[in-house]
A and B are shown apart, each in its own frame.
Chain A
Amino acid sequence: MRNRKAINTNNEDITNILPEECISYILSLTSPADVCRSKLVSPVFRSAADSDTIWGKFLPSDCYDIISNASSSSSSKLLTSSMSKTQLYFHLCKNPIIIDNGTMSFGLDKATGKKCYMLGARRLSISWANTPRYWRWKRVPESRFSEVAELKEVWWLDVKGTIETKILSPNTTYVAYLVYKFSSSRYGFEKKPVDLHVELGESDAGRTFRIFLDPSANIPQFSREREDGWMEVKLGEFFNEHGDDGKATCSLREVDNYTPKKGLIIEGIDIRPKDSR
């Protein structure tokens, strides 16, 4: 490291004691959230916080491998290859890239730098999904995927998604959400509750919650609106330690066979760290 002249050693201000490179190094040992906050401390901190050494450290180690597998149709591949590490980090937080033949999206959780994935509807196992009179596949502009699944009418509603824990960030509690909306002709979801379930690996029985997806008045609403305009409902959560637990399975079912259901539009299942936005 080069020798740096301190500007004014008599000053109490530590930014006159520590060169900016040192401050950047110190910040790289904190967390993404801390670094963002530190931008509000002083001009020197602000400048130190924009260093590639910091954000390069916060990017997942296999980040560039994942990007290189992005769908070739996505322009984000071209974009991301020309970005600095800092730019790439913030880009992935706001703009998930589509990978794996357009069936999945990959992004980062801003506060922690952990990996987030959304399984597109095409990647899920939806019973009857290939029968046109029950489900329909269509393009909508507000989806990140090329197709979403729209329920026309079905008695047996069974939507399931799986994800390999080895692609997730280690030592993280993940939460799975069904990303959906209702069309104007929805029916059945106010009459019967649905079963929401998440289990990890082969031996885990998992947990099931039963809620009304379209509750009438006085019944609690478990869904909430997302920033991208879709709704989401929590299916469950699991803890990923080392990524060697096999697959996590998330599902939504309503299979009593006495209530037809209509009008559910599914974008996918969003899997992200707990307490992320």
Chain B
Amino acid sequence: MSEVDMAVIKPEMMKSYIWLQTADGSIQQVEQEVAMFCPMICHEVIQKGMGSSKNYAISLPQRVNPAMLSLILDYCRFHQVPGRSNKERKSFDEKFIRMDTKRLCELTSAADSLQLKPLVDLTSRALARIIEGKSPEEIREIFHLPDDLTEEEKLEPLKNTTDDPRIRLLNRLYAKKRKELKERQKLKNIEVEEERVDDRSVDDLLSFINGDNGDSKGIKNSKSKKKNRRRKDQQKNTSANEAIKNHNKEPNGLNQVCCSAEVGQTVRAGVGATSNLHDVEDDIFDNKNELDDGDIDDEIDPALKEKIDREVEDFARRLNSDWPERMQEILSFGHERKPVHFSLNGNGSLRRYANSEQR
């Protein structure tokens, strides 16, 4: 029978066929329900009335060669049957995609041009699994790609990868530079803030500096004042903490006791706690005996005094408002009789010079 006759006998055979033509010119007929599974073919048939006979065969996109068409039709033939279970379909799919990488790519491309999304997903996922975790070199090997990125192009995407140690080092250097700049800015801001510093603290500081260059009595004087004040406050704090320790260590409880301590209710403190505190303080201040409050000595010759005044001004200017801590550090150097010069490093720590040169 000729092919034309076949078309006429169609109703008796209870089967319709769609005519498809691939780019190489060959034409074949495919069961209607199988072909219609592809949205692109479906569109051609319904919207344009194509595919009903050999002369009106649907031209398939160039990406669909006969081999690929055959594969796609196998896929459609299986899946268009409604009665299959999910397990069956999955099992079919797994076997179906077992092919070499190149065919997998061709199949993806062909399925894409026919708009057959389930097959595109299946093949794409398979390719994704192949790509995952591989280095660029390995990927090039698998897909037979030449290494044709320019050096510049290779560097640019590196900004987005986290692996390259060179770029990481560069970033770290940039971060350091930024940090330095910020610190410098911070120091500038501190100098501005200095004007608003409490007078009393600057005076104390000046007197301390003067005292230091005379004898160490000055140190102990101002320190001891602070020490006494601190001791009282810390007693309060310790009592509060002691009380908490005896009850539950709930943060809520802590806050409540804190409030009451501030209001002024004293809680009986363990003697042990207080004496521990004193020991600790002694360690910090490094000088235990002199507690007398006295006047600060001022017996320095004028030339030296001028020099000291300059240094004091410089020092005061650089100091931030956190001077009690600074004092501590100074005091730990306080053994020496000769004048020592201090200045602040960029990060706020003190630096001492043995000679009399200004920074």
Q: Within the assembled complex, what's the spacing in Å between the Cα atoms of A155 and B257? A: 14
State whether A19 and B112 are in contact (beta carbons under 8 Å apart), knowing that A29-B128, A42-B146, A155-B238 are contacts in the complex.
yes
- B186 at interface by CB-CB < 8 Å: yes
Name which of B84-92, B147-155, B196-204 contacts chain A: B147-155
| Secondary structure of the A contact surface, majority rule | loop
Counting chain B CB atoms within 10 Å of each CB, the highest count among A37, A140, A156, A277 belongs to: A37
Q: Within the assembled complex, what's the spacing in Å between the Cα atoms of A21 and B144? A: 19
Name 18 interchain pairs, CB-CB below 8 A, sorted by A.
Answer: A19-B109, A27-B131, A33-B162, A37-B136, A41-B140, A42-B146, A45-B145, A46-B153, A128-B254, A128-B258, A133-B233, A155-B237, A185-B322, A185-B328, A185-B329, A227-B171, A229-B175, A262-B325
Report yes or no: B112 in contact with A40, Cβ–Cβ below 8 A: no
Q: Within the assembled complex, what's the spacing in Å between the Cα atoms of A68 and B296? A: 62
Partner-A contacts on B (CB < 8 A): 61-63, 101-102, 105-106, 108-109, 112-113, 115, 120, 124-125, 127-128, 131-136, 139-140, 143-149, 153-154, 157-158, 160-162, 171-172, 175-176, 179, 182, 185-186, 233, 237-238, 241-242, 244-245, 249, 251, 254-255, 258, 262, 273, 276, 280, 284, 322, 325-326, 328-329, 347-350
Report yes or no: A125 in contact with B251, Cβ–Cβ below 8 A: yes
State whether A40 and B154 are in contact (beta carbons under 8 Å apart), knowing that A5-B62, A6-B109 are contacts in the complex.
yes
Name which of A9-17, A198-206, A211-219, A239-247 contacts chain B: A9-17
Residues on A with C-beta less than 8 A from B160 are 36, 39, 90, 110
Q: Within the assembled complex, what's the spacing in Å between the Cα atoms of A33 and B242? A: 53
CB distance from B179 to the nearest CB of A (A): 5
Report yes or no: A13 in contact with B136, Cβ–Cβ below 8 A: no
Residues on A with C-beta less than 8 A from B131 are 26-27, 30, 34, 38
CB distance from B101 to the nearest CB of A (A): 8
| Secondary structure of the B contact surface, majority rule | helix
Report yes or no: A13 in contact with B145, Cβ–Cβ below 8 A: yes
Q: Given A26-B124, A26-B131, A37-B136, 7 other A-B contacts at CB below 8 A? A: A3-B61, A30-B131, A36-B161, A36-B162, A41-B139, A42-B147, A257-B273
Within 8 Å by CB of A25, from B124, B176, B255, B276, lies: B124
Residues on A with C-beta less than 8 A from B61 are 3
- A190 at interface by CB-CB < 8 Å: no
CB distance from A46 to the nearest CB of B (A): 6
Report yes or no: A46 in contact with B328, Cβ–Cβ below 8 A: no
Report yes or no: B162 in contact with A110, Cβ–Cβ below 8 A: yes
Contact with B along A20-57 (1 / 0, CB 8 A): 01100111011101101111111101100100000000
Report yes or no: B136 in contact with A40, Cβ–Cβ below 8 A: yes
